[in-house]
Amino acid sequence: MNQLLQALNQKLATLSHGQEGIVKISTAVSDKLVAFKTKPPSIQREILSVCSDPYTLAQQLTHVELERLSHIGPEEFVQAFVHKDPLDGTKTCFSEQKKTSNLEAYVKWFNRLCYLVATEICMPAKKKQRAQVIEFFIDVARECFNIGNFNSLMAIISGMNMSPVSRLKKTWSKVKTAKFFILEHQMDPTGNFYNYRTALRGAAHRSLTAHSNREKVGTLGGLERAEHTACKTLLEVSLHPWKIHII
């Protein structure tokens, strides 16, 4: 009983922390939007001036994904898809943000990443600079794929397929698109996302193999175990990132 109460208290504390984080992030985003509209373009910092290494950015995106996922409980998915009115299949409990606020925050994060990618690509005035940003995000998406962060991968690809970006024909003509087409192929919906599911199984196997090897050596600490569990959860939840996106 004591263990049960302790686990419950820990879960409630985590949820409370997540709620506070959502409020802080929402406030920070609102402030940055106001600043973005009021500052002249010369003061606005482009992403390449902040982080020019695709692998580092992919790692940071994965940290964000895991942090957001850690606050989502299974009850939120139940609330999101349970119909409020049996006679009206279009209404769900997803609109009740108090019950699904963490899941809602995760969906907003996906959409924000999409728009960030599109915005960063469209900001440069010259085609050569825009092409450089596109190639940078292609490399970031590839690193996300290698890590197993399929949700960020899907968000980056979605951002690059937005009409303000896809219609930049002259810019795309300067981009080496072979890697981008390979990544798009992995997210191809054909065959109920067969390519994606195959890649997901491979990523899950690599994660479990690495975990097993670390246990044999005997160097797997509590933090590593927690990180492995979070990575496994990310792989499982990322099975349907496009469904989360379109809710």
Structural domain of residue 161, as residue ranges?
47-245
> How far is the C-alpha of 171 from the C-alpha of 134, rounded, in Å?
9
Q: Which of 66-70, 82-86, 185-189, 240-244 has the lowest mean pLDDT?
A: 240-244
Q: What is the arithmetic mean of pLDDT over 183-212?
A: 75
pLDDT tens digits, 205-216: 666 554 454 444
Indicate if 118 and 6 belong to the same structural domain.
Answer: no
Give the pair of three-digit tokens for residue 62. Answer: 């994965």
Q: Are residues 22 and 65 in the same domain?
A: no
Query: Secondary structure of 147-208 in the HEC alphabet?
Result: HCCHHHHHHHHHHHCCHHHHCCHHHHCCCCCHHHHHHHHHCCCHHHHHHHHHHHHHHHHHHH
**Model confidence pLDDT, tens digit, residues 65-121:** 998 888 888 888 787 777 555 556 555 555 544 577 888 889 999 999 999 999 999
Q: What is the pLDDT of residue 216?
A: 43
Shared domain check, 63 and 34: no
Site of tokens 């989360």: 244
> Do 9 and 51 belong together in one domain?
no
Same domain, 3 and 116: no
Between 73 and 222, the higher pLDDT residue: 73
Is residue 12 predicted with pLDDT exceeding 80? Answer: no
Is 119 in the same domain as 158? yes
Look at residue 38 in the predicted model and tell me its pLDDT: 62
Residues 222 and 233 occupy one common structural domain: yes
Inform me whether the pLDDT recorded for 55 exceeds 60: yes
Q: In this model, does residue 132 exceed pLDDT 50?
A: yes
If pLDDT is split at 50, 70 and 90, which confidence band does 159 have? very high
Q: Identify whether residues 18 and 93 lie together within a single domain.
A: no
Contacts with 111 (C-beta within 8 Å, 6 or more apart), sequence order:
155, 245
Q: How many domains does the chain have?
A: 2
Higher pLDDT, 1 or 230: 1
Q: 226 with 109, same domain?
A: yes
Q: Domain check: are 93 and 8 in the same one?
A: no
pTM for the structure as a whole: 0.67
